[in-house]
Amino acid sequence: NSGVISLLKPLLLDVVPTIQQTAALALGKLANYNDDLAEAVVKGDILPQLVCSLSEQNRFYKKAAAFVLRGVGKHSPQLAQAIVHCGALEMLVICLEDFDPGVKEAASWALGYIARHNSELSQAVVDAGAVPLLVLCIQEPEIALKRIAASTLSDISKHSPELAQTVVDAGAIAHLAQMILNPDAKLKRQVLSALSQIAKHSVDLAELVVEAEIFPVVLTCLKDSDEYVKKNGATLIREIAKHTPELSQLIVNAGGVAAVTDCIGSCRGTVRLPGIMTLGYVAAHSENLSMAVIVSKGIPPLCACLIEEHEDHIKAAAAWALGQVGRHTPEHAHAVAVANVLPTLLAMYMDTRSSEDLQMKASIFTKKALKNILQKCTHLPALEPLLHDAPPNILKHIVGQFSKVLPHDSKARRLFVTTGGLKKVQEIKAEPGSLLQEYINTINNCYPEEIVR
Amino acid sequence: RYLNKMVIFIQKWWRGYRSRRYFRKTVETAYFIMKMNFYNEMAVRIQKRWRGYYVRKYIHNYYALKKYLEAISVNNEIVRNELQEYAEMKENKEKRRDLEKKEKEKEYQARKMHYLLSTKQIAGIYNSPFRKSPDPMEALLRKSKPLCHRRQQTTSPFASEFYDWPTCRRPPTFSTVQPLPPIGRQKPQGPFRDTAEVLRQRYKPLEPTLRVAATINSPLEKAREEMKREEWRNRIHDNEFLPFSSYHKNRKYDPSIHTSGKYGQETYGTKHFREVQPKKWVAGKDFQTVLPSIVLFEKFGKTYSRTGQIV
């Protein structure tokens, strides 16, 4: 602020190399700290000076220069665009070809931060020819370099399918798949996130990732002691499962559902979210798959999530997943109802009905889940408690189910009367001619007149 | 009137005939349709049975589904067990690592506190006379050897940033300047020499004479010894290996002028050297050349096999 940058600028051109390096380091730290300072660095025309003589300099200078570029590029897309404009990308790619692993690490970190913002910048990074060099960096023995290169590849491929295809064409998947076995936790995080960003775009990419033989190795990642490794592993499985039923089938056959349910049971908080969504996606494809989810004891963890978690989006996801599991046939709905989760769903729906946007989404999910499950549910003891508190739009489904089942089942009829359900039904006020009234009439017709009165 | 009656009679008969024919046709078609309906219904019954069977057997095979679900649960159990083992193994590894760290810490402490070991006269703190047996720390102290003071580690000013990067071990060095003499100091009173001179003399680098720099043993002998040792070391074959011994011998033989005549080489000088008169021989034998044999030269070309010689 006190003109420091204009003082440091001439030092960059000093004769003594150590002074150049220290000046560059100082600029890097300034830019790293705050985005106003980064803007000042860009405005002070420092980047072209840094970049112009980079190829002949020694490795310390290259490291410091890459540090400056990283610090500037991480704050916003405009600053990163400024970096691209002054031709720094070619210089960073030249740094990537250097022998010293520290230089490569700094360069790939800078490229990662630039590519993170949006897809044009990622495209610019790819056009500068960085991807094959990054794939080479991944194969180097130093762990820090591998980590950073993996995170850069993940940032590049997350924006669009074409970019992910470019990364795949450079042969990245095989190396990333090998590195899943590495014991270092941070490396595993980055590798799993890179694979999931690649797999999320299309079926072909997901199939390519699966062909790299990641199952069942990925399941061991779900048992890792590091939370984010578990989260990223579950994300990878989710991205693969969501495309087609065949891929979900593959995951189920490899025992993935059991691993994911254990993972959900053992974590707390947002780490659970991808696991929940995986179960939902698997169950959504077909009834056999949702039966497989039920058989692998998938429902109790989902119910636990619904009850324990405080965040709305996790609860909404759990409700959605339960809806997907239970909506196919009466057996599925029975399995869901037996877990005693319908009252919780109803309470959640009523709870969050009158609040803002995020809770609106949660309530939409719960409502859909409830509707879908109730339309197939024939397990009457589970439906009974819902009669008492449900709002009218849910109530008509419940009463509809009763009216479908009661005419045929005499034991259920007796039970219905003894538990006071019939009385409750009488108390419901419905407009004549509406669906609700028809259902009530059907129920009343099952019983002799005296009881009804 | 009779004609009209006749005509009506013929027409009546004709109409009856036509309508009987028509009626027979309709009856036949109706019968045919009835038969076809019957066959269709029977066919539908068969198809119904077949479709049910097929769907139950192949498409919605209930038992296959049940078996599949059982297989899934079995597989899940296996996967869960394996994952459990893996998690346990990792936990064990972690625990072992922690234990080892603690052990190392303890040993280090024992080495530092070696002076607390008990002597014969004075019992140390870990070997109190009121205890039945000495503390395990005592055993550790007995086992460990005393720790010498480590030299102070020089911390460079760039320690934090550059040591983060894995390969940069040395920070960038400033160019070393000669230490300048201290400025502004008052000249000490008295017959002292100039400080700069003194420092120069004190820190003069060593310039050893040639005698000192060379070794006691003369270098010539040393070099000879060295050569002998090298030969002794490197000689595995007494014959040096030559690739193909006659390979490079492609010199043509220039015959000498003295012995070359019109019809080729004269044999004097090669086959015979002087006049030979066998009648004058004493023992009936010619002189025979007797040369002292040089073993090495006899062996030339004969010790090893003739393979490898290019003809």
Q: Give the pLDDT confidence of A238-248 residue by residue, as tens digits.
A: 999 999 999 99
pLDDT of A191 reads: 94
Which of A424-428, B14-18, B126-130, B234-238 is predicted least confidently?
B234-238
Neighbouring CB atoms inside 10 A of B183's CB total 5
pLDDT of B145 reads: 77
Measured torsion, CA atoms of residues A187, A191, A197, A199, in degrees rounded to the nearest 10: -160
pLDDT of B39 reads: 94
B75 in contact with chain A, both atoms CB, cutoff 8 A: yes
Q: Is A128 helix (H, G, I), strand (E, B) or coil?
A: coil
Q: Is the dihedral of CA A51, A53, A55, A58 positive or negative?
A: negative
Closest CA to A263 of A253, A254, A273: A273
Distance CA A336, CA A326 (A): 6
Distance CA B117, CA B288 (A): 96
B156 in contact with chain A, both atoms CB, cutoff 8 A: no
Which residues in chain A have their CB less than 8 angstroms from residue B166's CB?
Answer: 101-102, 105, 142, 144-145
How much is the average pLDDT of B217-225?
78
* B88 → chain A, closest CA residue: A223
Share of chain B above pLDDT 90, in %: 22
* A59 → chain B, closest CA residue: B168
B99 in contact with chain A, both atoms CB, cutoff 8 A: no
Closest CA to A280 of A246, A327, A340: A327
- Alpha carbon of A296 to those of A221, A293, A383, B80, B181: distances in Å? 19, 5, 25, 11, 83
Which residues in chain B have their CB less than 8 angstroms from residue A16's CB?
Answer: 175
How far away is chain B from the Cα of A256, in angstroms, using its nearest Cα?
A: 8
Closest residue to A292, CB basis, from B72, B94, B173: B72
Helices (H), A170-241: 172-178, 185-199, 203-211, 217-221, 227-241
* B70 → chain A, closest CA residue: A295
If residue B222 lies in a helix (H) or strand (E), which one and from where to where?
Answer: helix B219-234
Give chain A's count of helices (H) and strands (E).
Answer: 32, 0
- Of residues B259 and B241, which shows the higher confidence score? B259
Joined together, the tokens standing for residue A450 give 């005296």
How far away is chain A from the Cα of B251, in angstroms, using its nearest Cα?
A: 54
Instruction: Answer yes or no: pTM beyond 0.80.
Output: no
The residue type found at B250 is: N
Q: Is B238 helix (H, G, I), strand (E, B) or coil?
A: coil
Which of B59, B67, B79 to mutate: most A Cβ within 10 Å? B79
- Of residues B138 and A260, which shows the higher confidence score? A260
Closest residue to B65, CB basis, from A18, A252, A288: A288
Cβ-defined contact of A259 to B80 (cutoff 8 Å)? yes
What is the phi-psi region of residue B190: left when phi exceeds 0, alpha when psi lies from -120 to 50, beta otherwise? left
Bridge-partner residues for B261, per DSSP? B264
Helices (H), A34-171: 35-43, 46-52, 59-73, 77-85, 88-96, 101-115, 119-127, 130-138, 143-157, 161-169
Cβ-defined contact of A60 to B83 (cutoff 8 Å)? no
Distance CA A67, CA A65 (A): 5
Q: What residues have CB less than 8 Å from A451, skipping those under 6 apart?
A: A417, A422
Distance CA A150, CA B101 (A): 32
* B87 → chain A, closest CA residue: A223
Q: Identify the burial level of B74 via C-beta atoms within 10 angstroms of its C-beta, where 0-12 means exposed, 13-18 middle and 19 or more buried.
A: exposed
User: In this structure, what are the phi and psi dihedrals at residue B41, rounded to the nearest 5 degrees?
Assistant: -65, -40
* Banded model confidence at residue A205, pLDDT cuts 50, 70, 90: very high
Which of A109, A223, A227 to mutate: most B Cβ within 10 Å? A223
Judged against a pLDDT cut of 60, whether residue A280 lies above it is answered with yes
Q: What is the mean pLDDT of chain A?
A: 85
Q: Distance of alpha carbon B117 from its chain centroid, rounded?
A: 49
How is chain B split among helix, strand and coil, in percent rounded to 5? 55, 0, 45
* A58 → chain B, closest CA residue: B172
Distance CA B61, CA A377 (A): 23
Closest residue to B76, CB basis, from A25, A225, A255: A255
Closest residue to B73, CB basis, from A16, A101, A296: A296
Which of A308-317, A344-353, B123-132, B165-174 is predicted least confidently?
B165-174
Mind listing the pLDDT tens digit for each residue in B255-303? 777 777 777 777 777 677 777 777 888 887 777 777 766 776 666 666 6
Please tell me what DSSP assigns to residue B58. I
Q: Which residues of A touch chain B, with CB atoms under 8 Å apart?
A: 16-18, 21, 25, 59-60, 63, 100-102, 105-106, 142, 144-145, 216, 219-220, 222-225, 252-255, 257-259, 262, 288, 291-292, 295-296
Joined together, the tokens standing for residue A46 give 């420092």
pLDDT of B162 reads: 45
DSSP-assigned letters across all residues of B98-159? HHHHHHHHHHHHHHHTGGG---SSS--GGG-TTSSS--HHHHHHHHSPPPPPPPPPPPPTTH
Closest residue to B75, CB basis, from A102, A105, A255: A255
* Banded model confidence at residue B101, pLDDT cuts 50, 70, 90: very high
* A259 → chain B, closest CA residue: B80
* A290 → chain B, closest CA residue: B69
* Banded model confidence at residue A153, pLDDT cuts 50, 70, 90: very high
* Banded model confidence at residue B304, pLDDT cuts 50, 70, 90: low
B172 in contact with chain A, both atoms CB, cutoff 8 A: yes
pLDDT of B242 reads: 59
DSSP-assigned letters across all residues of B171-213? PPPPPPPPPPPPSSPPPPSSSPPPHHHHHHHHTPPP---HHHH
Cβ-defined contact of A288 to B174 (cutoff 8 Å)? no
Judged against a pLDDT cut of 60, whether residue B151 lies above it is answered with no
Share of chain B above pLDDT 70, in %: 74
* Banded model confidence at residue A350, pLDDT cuts 50, 70, 90: confident
If residue B260 lies in a helix (H) or strand (E), which one and from where to where?
Answer: strand B260-261
Joined together, the tokens standing for residue B266 give 């004269």
